[in-house]
Every structure is written in C-alpha cells, then in structure tokens.
Amino acid sequence: MIIPSLDFIQGKTVRLYQGNYNCKTRYNINIFEQIDEYICHGATHIHLVDLDGCSNPLDRQKNILKIVSNYKNITFQVGGGIRTHDDIKSLLDVGVNKIVIGTVAILYPNKFKRWLSKYGGDKLILAVDIKVNNKNENKIAINGWKVITQSNIEDIVSMFVPYGLKNILCTDILRDGTFLGPNVELYKHLKKQFPNIILQSSGGVCSIADICSLQEHNVEHVIIGRALLEKKFTFLEARQCWQKELSLV
C-alpha cells in the first residue's frame, strides 16, 4: 500500500532534510485540501507527524484532533514525540488508529512491551530509524535522529516480536527527504530476517521505479512524503503502479 505522509509545524506542511529542523522546506499547502486530494485518488491510510507535538504533547492532541475529526473511514497513523501511556491514550481517544513509537521503545523497552501487551500489535507501530555505519551495521537513531545508539535493528525487533510486535516503520535517515532512492538492500534484509513482520519503508523515494523495486522485495507499505508534495509523481500514479504490480504477482 502507498501511504502519503504529511509533516507539519504550527499547522503548516513541512519536510525536514535528514530529520534536521534547521533544514526544512515549507510548502504552501492546505493540509486538509492535500488529504482530500489523496482520498479522492483512493488513499485509505494517512501518515501524520506533528512536529510541534515532539515538544508539547498537548499541542499534538489539539492539532491531530482538528485533522482526524474531519474524516471518516480513513486510517490515520501518528508519530512524533510520543513518550507516555497518556500520549497514546489521548491520540486513540481522538480517533487515531495507529500509534508510531520510536525513541521510548529503544530507551525503555519494558514499557513498550507493556504497551504491546495492552493495545496489541495492530495499534502500535515500532519506528526504527536507521543509520548504516561504515561497518554496514544498522544502528538505531533516537531523539529526533540526534543520537545514534549502539543498538542494532535486528536485536531490537527480535526483542519485541515475542510481545506481539507486528508492524515496523523503517527509515534510513541518510535517505530521508533526499530523493536518493530507498535503501532497498536494507528492506530486503529485514524481510529475510523477519518474514512475518509487516514492513513500512520510508525515505528516499523519488520515482515510480523506486516503488516497483520496493514491492518486488515484498515491502508491504511505502511511506511517501516529499516526492508527492513536489509532484515527482502523483499519488494516483503511485497507487496504480502498486496495484498493477500486485496483479502480476
């Protein structure tokens, strides 16, 4: 599935370059009109990152409520600075369908295990943001990608699978917002290691060919932000490509 992504600050749509708040592009786009366009062309899922919420969860709840309450029959998944059980509960209460958890799962794995047990793997998505080092190790970044940990993605995913983890959103941070193409080898490796995990890829997509390549390697979902906003291709074109490739399987 193709999942459009929208990041916003103070209600304005933005894209960060490799997660850097100081390297952001602002788009003169009404977020509601953009979502309407995606829905008109067949989108059923939307990925939202409220960057204000990273610093103030109350802002996140307020902003997300404005968006989610406008739509029915749309699955919203939300990420960015979600740290506590109250953060999760408040987002679910306003109608968010899936919660994307990153930093807190890495720093406090027992807490994330409890959340998986409470809410189930269908509600929680583990965000694993990766920086590939010079030894070709997939190290996880946290705190808005500011800190590179010594944790490998393989060890982290293996730890949570017994507790019901079903979905991961994996971003190669050196590709995010760059148009360098997705890290297909990374996703190919993850699908081989964890064939039962539902994988969302994120970062680097710049062409329809990139989408085809990800699908060929059994990636279930592709998160696309900047390429759609800058009209490298339309959501409709991406969706049609995805459906065409599925029909050939």
Respond yes or no: is residue 129 known to be catalytic: yes
Position 176 confidence tier, pLDDT thresholds 50, 70, 90: confident
Range of the domain at 94: 2-248
Which domain CATH number covers 212?
A: 3.20.20.70
Q: What does the pLDDT look like over 29-83, one tens digit per residue?
A: 899 999 999 999 999 999 998 777 665 656 666 778 889 999 989 999 999 888 8
Total number of domains constituting the chain: 1
Exactly one of 7, 52, 172, 176 is catalytic; which is it? Answer: 7
Position 26 confidence tier, pLDDT thresholds 50, 70, 90: confident
Dist. CA 102–CA 83, nearest whole Å: 9
Respond yes or no: is residue 155 known to be catalytic: no
% pLDDT > 70, the chain: 89
Position 191 confidence tier, pLDDT thresholds 50, 70, 90: very high
Are the C-beta atoms of residues 139 and 178 closer than 8 Å to each other?
no
**Please, where are the H alpha helices in the chain?**
31-40, 57-68, 85-93, 103-107, 109-119, 153-160, 184-193, 208-216, 226-229, 235-248
Exactly one of 50, 87, 129, 176 is catalytic; which is it? Answer: 129
pTM: 0.90
